[in-house]
Amino acid sequence: MSNQQYNDSVEKADKAFTHWCEGNDIPLHGIHHVITWEDWDDGIGVYAFLHDIADVEELQTAQVEEMKNTYLEYLTKYGYPFETFPNVAFEIDSDENVRKNYSGSYFYRLR
Phi, psi of 96 (to 5 degrees): -60, -45
CATH number, domain 3-110: 3.30.70
pTM of the model: 0.94
- Measured CA to CA, the distance from residue 108 to residue 72 in angstroms comes to 25
Question: By percentage, how much of the chain surpasses pLDDT 70?
Answer: 99
For 28-63, what is each residue's pLDDT tens digit? 999 999 999 999 999 999 999 999 999 999 999 999
The 3-state DSSP class for residue 35 equals coil
Instruction: Give the pLDDT band of residue 111 (cuts 50, 70, 90).
Output: confident
